[in-house]
Amino acid sequence: MKNFRPYALSVNALRKATFWSGMSLLAILSGCTVGPNYQRPDVHLPKALIEQPNLALSQASSTAQKYVLQDIPAAWWQAFHSQELNLLIEKSLKNNPSVAVAQANLNQALENVRIQQAAFFPAVSATFNPTRQSVATSLASPLASNSHVYNLHTAQLNASYSLDVWGANKRQVEMLKAEAEASRYNVEVTYLTLISNVVNAAIQEAVIRDQIRITQNVIQKQRELTSIVHKARALGQVSDADVMTQEAAQLAVEATLPPLQKQLAIQRDLIKALAGEYPSDRLDAEFDLNHFKLPYELPAALPSSVLQRRPDIRLSEAMLHSASANIGVAVANRLPDITLNADLGSSADRLANLFSSASNFWMIGANVAEPIFDGAALKHKEKSARAAYDGAVAQYKSTIIAAFQNVGDVMQSIQSDQNAYNTALLATQASSKSLNLARKQYRLGDISRIALLPLEQNDLQMQLALAQAQGNRLQDTAALFQALGGGWWSTQQNQDTTK
């Protein structure tokens, strides 16, 4: 009982009680997070995607498309049943640099989140500082040996921890997570845009190829007619004016071919660029309208699903969330910052004495920093963050309006172009019947070859219009898949299922 000291015990108990009370208070304060908690803004959504949602279709064609309430598959382009297109898209997704850029930006954003999350943990570092020193001879030696030259070895652990009292770090992590989410949706936007561009480019190439083929047939008919007119002129059956008129008609048709060939070359270069290749590279895939099958069932969507499934809308909302969290960061920066510091080490004149009880030292402390005067910079940073949030809200609503406009425009195009296709189909069918009747008359000798040729040219012109109408319907269908989000969520669901 000789070493029993009741006074010392009570002091230690008081110190411990004070310490844990302080830590409890700090723990309570650490749960405080300043700034607004993010909530999605209320947005008025339309009751329907277009004013008249039912397709106004003619009964002239059995190829009428209809809307069906169904989900969009992740590989929606496979609905066109074109193996060449599937392979081209696979190649483009692999080689196009824009995909790599978007993915790299996402990886960078995720790493930024991890960097900021490190602030939730203490920072610990170790140092070892061996020195040999000499003091002025006019001063007393710091050593008992009376030597003015001595060695000093110092080993030390340093630890610091910033108490996130006001939730500044939490808000920064929240902000960076939202930016990473935006980068993730930007990847989906990049994928969807690239795939849609490839589909449209392939369809356009097919249309141009059909136009070139039909134009070449028209030119052949015109040349044949010109030859007949020249023979008739030699027999005195037509005048020179008739010959010149026909020659002008032939040249006019021939003049339409080079622009089409130019368009085809440009289109091929575009497809190569989308596939990550140069114009000089060889591209084996060639597209014809017969390579595509028009999907007759179109995905229907509710306005609320457009809000959830358009990646550009989700990207805009993620940036809005980031702007909201940044307000909390700006508010917290105006409040006191508390950092705990601790040092533990040993210092001795010889390595053998290092870490002996007599050479050990420690320090525990805290640092409280409070901005007093900064020319109102922090105040205006908070105002700037709130203004940025207001702008992000407006941008979010603008993105929604533009998205619904896009969906509405595509649905209107589907209606209009389907009616145009039906009209072109009726015209082609009527022209074909007229031509077949004329050919029978020609075989019977009732009409001349010169009378038959204009009918053949007219039939080719009808085919030209039908090919363009067919291409428009294919592109409208691809545009609808894109406008409704492209099915990226189906890919995510599949990944979640396999985990």
**Of 84, 482, 91, residue with least CA distance to 272:** 91
Q: Do 218 and 251 form a contact (C-beta atoms < 8 A)?
A: no
d(CA 332, CA 334): 5
Do 334 and 145 meet the contact criterion of CB atoms below 8 Å apart? no
Helices (DSSP H) in 31-165: which residue ranges? 83-95, 97-117
Rounded Cα distance between 122 and 112, Å, is 18
Report helix, strand or coil for 298. Answer: strand
**Rounded CA gap, 452 and 225, in Å?**
10
67-116 pLDDT, tens digit per residue, is 888 889 999 999 999 999 999 999 999 999 999 999 999 999 999 999 99
Which run of H or E residues covers position 156? Answer: strand 149-163
pLDDT at position 235 is 86
DSSP structural state of residue 171: H
Q: What are the backbone dihedrals phi and psi of residue 451, each rounded to the nearest 5 degrees, phi first?
A: -80, -25
| Distance between CA atoms of residues 246 and 451, nearest Å | 13
Q: Whole-model pTM? A: 0.85
3-state secondary structure of 341: strand
Alpha carbons 123 and 120: distance in angstroms, whole number: 9
Closest CA to 192 of 405, 497, 479, 410: 479
- Cα–Cα nearest to 480, from 253, 225, 300, 328: 300
- Domains of the chain plus CATH, in order, are 26-48+61-133+150-490 (1.20.1600.10)
Q: For 149-168, how does the pLDDT look when each residue is reduced to its tens digit (9 = 90+)?
A: 778 889 999 999 999 999 99
Contact (CB, 8 A) for 32 and 397: no
Q: How many alpha carbons fall within 13 Å on the CB side of residue 35?
A: 34
Of 337, 350, 293, 329, residue with least CA distance to 163: 337
Task: For residues 349-354, give the mean pLDDT.
Answer: 85
Tell me how crowded residue 290 is: count the other CB atoms within 10 A of its CB: 9
For residue range 302-348, list pLDDT tens digits in order: 888 888 899 999 999 999 999 999 999 999 999 999 999 999 999 98
How confident is the model at residue 480, as a pLDDT? 96
- Determine what percent of the chain is predicted with pLDDT higher than 90: 63
Per cent of the chain over pLDDT 70 is 87
* C-alpha–C-alpha distance, residues 267 and 158, integer Å: 64
CB neighbours of residue 45 within 10 Å? 12
Chain centroid, CA 367 distance in Å: 44
Location of structure tokens 């074109």: 82
Residue 56, pLDDT > 50, answer: no
DSSP structural state of residue 211: H
Q: Which of 409, 401, 397 is nearest to 480 (CA)?
A: 409
Average of pLDDT values for 358-379?
Answer: 91
CB 96 within 8 A of CB 274: yes
DSSP letter at 138 equals T
CA 395/CA 181 separation, integer angstroms = 17
Residue 83 pLDDT? 96
Model confidence at 430: pLDDT above 80: yes
3-class secondary structure, 79 = helix
**Cα–Cα distance between 270 and 130 in angstroms, integer?**
66
Cβ atoms of 154 and 128 closer than 8 Å: yes
Classify each residue of 136-172 as buried b or exposed e, where b means 16 or more C-beta atoms within 10 Å of its C-beta. Answer: eeeeeeeeeeeebebeebbbbeeeebbbbbbbbbbbb
